Amino acid sequence: MVAYDRRHIWHPYASALGDAPLFPVVSAEGVRLRLADGRELVDGMASWWSAIHGYNHPALNAAARRQLDAMAHVMFGGLTHPPAVELARRLVELTPEPLQRVFLADSGSVSVEVALKMALQYQRARGQNGRTRMVTVRGGYHGDTFGAMAVCDPEGGMHSLWSGALPEHLFAPIPPAGFARPLVDADTAELADLLAKHGDEVAAVVLEPIVQGAGGMRFHSPAYLARVRELCDEHGVLLIADEIATGFGRTGAMFACDHAGISPDIMCVGKAMTGGYLTMAATLCTDEVAETISRAHGAFMHGPTYMANPLAAAVAVASIDLLTSGPWRDRVAALEAGLRTGLEPARALPQVADVRVLGGIGVIELRTPVDMARVQPAFVERGVWVRPFGKLVYVMPPYVMTADDLALVTAAMVDVVENVHTG
């Protein structure tokens, strides 16, 4: 299996010529992945933020089976179906009140493309044809398609590879670090300057609220986010919040925007929406955005083949119901406490630049990038699945992980950093 894979299959951000470690998984249950050789790994990654309820969950399996017996898919042009309507109802109820319109997209990256297109179409619909650029902050990650790539961090997103092919947007500095950091004017001064100077060219500010994920696993304050909302209003610019990683409770609030008590004009959600079962995301917007576009242009110009896929939507409904009917706040708080205690010993290590935790997210930032060829097998030998990137050894476990399993994961992180990543 591994030999054929290496010969023919691309993996995420991987070389076709590489011999990086590759582990075949044959099943997964609760917080454990089972490898082909019978070993079990406690999963710290929740399949990149998605599998918040754990794997092979009876309620999600049942929802998928029920929907499969009814219909797996049907086109969404001119047709609708119960899973789409029920999912939209839940998203509208859970997200901040101004967000009333739902576009169901087939992945996070596509939902970001949809958000960017909505912002552009909205500005055009208002006669603001010059507003074609986005403002974002450095250190962000918004996906791998072209529109999304153009608002990713220019270095982390390897913009140099695509120079000449990507639209050139405007970048403000990385938000100052620290969830609890008090806001000072200097923190948003450059962003304010950009908007003052380029305001009439700007369609929207795009950012990941509170947590920058794949761009560096950094946390910023609700006060910063609230100030960004004010600046957008002052300059007639929309705010797009990319909650694809942070949504559905991960940071300790249902959505990261809730920490600041603000609503964006457009919000992207994905990843945990289907509980890690199927690819689906959503772009929500206000009535004002939707109605302005629709009055001027007659339509919003996007419509993927698998839009609102009933199977994915049915599982998303079940996943959201499971989340909202359970003690997710307590579970995320317990993860936060366990991550703080478990990762704290790493702070004293000479290899470590920073240790930070927010909600169900735990990060050890190293001084040098890890050697994956050594570090990845070392985690597997310790019975856990942790997938570092660059200088970051980080986890965002399923919400259902027990304290004992979490302690195993954090102990392995500290051990591997101390004894395998010698720096």
- Identify whether the C-beta of residue 259 lies closer than 8 Å to the C-beta of residue 210: yes
| Continuous H helices in 165-241 | 189-198, 222-234
* Shortest spacing between CB 381 and ligand PLP, in angstroms: 28
DSSP assignments along 340-402, one per residue: HHHHGGGGGSTTEEEEEEETTEEEEEESS---HHHHHHHHHHTTEE---BTTEEEE---TT--
The C-alpha atoms of residue 396 and residue 48 are separated, in whole angstroms, by 8
**In the bound complex, what is the minimum distance in angstroms from residue 420's beta carbon to ligand PLP?**
27
Q: Identify whether 13 is a catalytic site residue.
A: yes
Is position 109 an interface residue for ligand PLP (rule: CB under 6 A)?
yes
Stretch that binds ligand PLP, among 172-180, 208-216, 321-329, 397-405 (CB under 6 A): 208-216
* Closest CB to ligand PLP among residues 100, 279: 279
CB nearer to ligand PLP: give 210 or 370.
210
Report d(CA 377, CA 136) in Å as an integer. Answer: 37
The span from the CA of 138 to the CA of 173, in Å, is 5
Tell whether residue 107 is a contact of ligand PLP (CB under 6 A): yes
Query: Of the two residues 265 and 405, which places its CB atom closer to ligand PLP in the complex?
Result: 265
- The reply on whether position 401 binds ligand PLP by CB under 6 A is no
Q: Should residue 30 be labelled a site residue for ligand PLP when binding is judged by CB under 6 A?
A: no
- Of the candidates 218, 120, 121, the one whose C-alpha atom is nearest the C-alpha of residue 169 is 120
Binding residues, by number, are 48, 108-109, 141, 242, 271, 303-305, 387
Q: Which of 271, 394, 399, 405 is catalytic?
A: 271
For residue 56, count other CB atoms closer than 10 A to its CB.
Answer: 13
Identify the residue whose tokens are 């478990």.
342
Our finding on whether 216 is near ligand PLP (CB under 6 A) is no
| Closest of 88, 2, 108 to residue 48, by C-alpha | 108
The residues near 290 (Cβ < 8 Å, ≥ 6 apart) are 100, 101, 300
* Residue 151 interacting with ligand PLP (CB under 6 A): no
Between 54 and 143, CB nearer to ligand PLP: 143
* Residue span binding ligand PLP (CB under 6 A) among the ranges 77-85, 137-145, 168-176, 370-378: 137-145
Q: Which of 214, 269, 396, 409 binds ligand PLP (CB under 6 A)?
A: 214
* Residue 277 among the catalytic residues: no
Residues annotated in the binding site for pyridoxal 5'-phosphate, as ranges? Answer: 108-109, 242, 304-305
Count of chain residues binding ligand PLP (CB under 6 A): 16
Nearest alpha-carbon partner for 413 in 80, 392, 399: 392
Of the residues 63, 91, 94, 112, which one makes contact with ligand PLP according to CB under 6 A: 112
Respond yes or no: is residue 306 known to be catalytic. Answer: no
Residue 218 binds ligand PLP, judged by CB under 6 A:
no
- Rounded to the nearest 5 degrees, what angle is found at the Cα of 41, between the Cα atoms of 37 and 45? 135
Asked if residue 359 binds ligand PLP (CB under 6 A), the reply is no
Residue 192 in the binding site for ligand PLP (CB under 6 A): no
Q: Which one among 141, 224, 255, 277 touches ligand PLP, defined by CB under 6 A?
A: 141
Interaction pattern, residues 266-285, with ligand PLP; x per rule: CB under 6 A: ----xx---------x----
The answer to whether 105 and 283 have CB atoms below 8 angstroms apart is yes
Annotated binding site for substrate: 48, 141, 271, 303, 387
Nearest by Cα to 375 from 353, 354, 391, 398 = 391
Task: Please state, in angstroms and rounded to a whole number, the distance separating the CA atoms of residues 246 and 95.
Answer: 13
Closest CA to 252 of 313, 180, 182: 180
Q: Catalytic: which of 242, 258, 265, 405?
A: 242
Phi-psi region of 85 (alpha: psi -120 to 50; beta: other; left: phi over 0): alpha
Q: Which residue is nearest to ligand PLP (CB)?
A: 108
Residue 242 known to be catalytic: yes
Among 43, 242, 265, 365, binds ligand PLP (CB under 6 A): 242
For residue 267, list its beta bridge partners.
241, 284
Nearer CB in complex with ligand PLP: 30/209: 209
Which one among 151, 240, 245, 273 touches ligand PLP, defined by CB under 6 A?
A: 245
| Gyration radius from the chain CA atoms | 21
Which residue, 47 or 107, has its beta carbon nearer to ligand PLP? 107
Write the single-letter amino acid at 257: C
Angstrom distance (rounded) from CA 256 to CA 226: 11
Residue whose entry in the numeric block shows the structure tokens 């706040």: 329
Q: Give the residue numbers marked as catalytic.
A: 13, 141, 242, 271
Instruction: Enumerate binding residues for ligand PLP (CB under 6 A).
Output: 107-109, 112, 141-143, 208, 213-214, 242, 244-245, 270-271, 281
